[in-house]
Amino acid sequence: MKQAKNTFREWYLPDASRDDVIYMLRDRDPGSFIIRNSISCVNSFSLGVKAPPYPPQNVATSDFLRSGQVKHFIIGTVPMYDGRGDGVQLCGFNDQPVFPALTDFVSHHCLHPGPLPCALRLPPSTTTSQQRLGGYESTNKYGVPAGGSGIMVDMLYLGCVPVDRLEKAAAIRKAISHIFGLAASSTNGLPRRCEVTIHAKPVEGVKFTDRGKRNLVEKHLKPSQILFCGSDPEGRTIFGILIRKKQFWMHENLVYVFSELDPNQSAVTLINYISHMFTS
């Protein structure tokens, strides 16, 4: 119970999105978890848990693989059995106990996983603000770096995809699907695939430059152009930056698609920084 309380600020991230949770958990040990406020269910929480490599039946189903091994559950707010106010309970399963607080819920499921894929695993008793994400000191629970110099990371550029007027996650999903379709149909791989250095900086926006100076010279995405930055909905280490490009009186939306090169330079850090600085 004490460790659950001491690490509360690390596993309870109320404003995190589903994509944030997938990215933050994908490289952690099974049992690692994050609880956030549920968007779809009123007065409820969403629990994301990193599952073991395979389901209990030792069969990796397609649904399991698409989820990125991060499983999601709803924790509902329900009345306590003894009338002491509201408690929390794991939803969707029969005969689940009701706990007076999230810390009690977590402590119990660290010892007794019940219907969860495995027992919950508490993080070390250190604050997230002291961790280094992607090689940069973070200043909040989402890993957004401090200072006005911005963030600079190396990524693999996969291409730019027009997405008509699709927005947010739908645009990212279409662009990534298009990139995978091109890769599957081409014997030589993606024609514009190259390593780039991305520099996101307040006021200036996002610049990325071809490290080999072969396929790209430099792209500059101004803050006014950036509409959204999001990760692959299937949990892979791929993400996209959605921008609006204007030509005369018309405009179209484009997605620049990237993939991680180095696990020490996490895409989630860049996504959170861009979202915080340019799209919030």
What the chain holds in terms of domains, given with CATH numbers, is: 1-53+67-111 (3.30.505.10), 151-278 (2.30.29.30)
- The pLDDT score that the predictor gives to residue 139 is 46
Dist. CA 74–CA 131, nearest whole Å: 28
- The pLDDT score that the predictor gives to residue 248 is 62
75 φ/ψ angles, rounded to the nearest 5 degrees: -110, 115
- The pLDDT score that the predictor gives to residue 73 is 95
- The pLDDT score that the predictor gives to residue 56 is 47
Q: Give me the average pLDDT of each 10-residue run along the chain (280 residues).
A: 79 84 84 91 91 59 56 90 80 90 92 94 59 40 52 88 88 91 72 80 87 68 92 86 79 90 82 83
- The pLDDT score that the predictor gives to residue 86 is 83
Q: What is the pTM of this model?
A: 0.50
- The pLDDT score that the predictor gives to residue 135 is 39
Dist. CA 218–CA 198, nearest whole Å: 10
- The pLDDT score that the predictor gives to residue 246 is 75
- The pLDDT score that the predictor gives to residue 3 is 80
- The pLDDT score that the predictor gives to residue 62 is 46
- The pLDDT score that the predictor gives to residue 132 is 31
Dist. CA 191–CA 203, nearest whole Å: 32
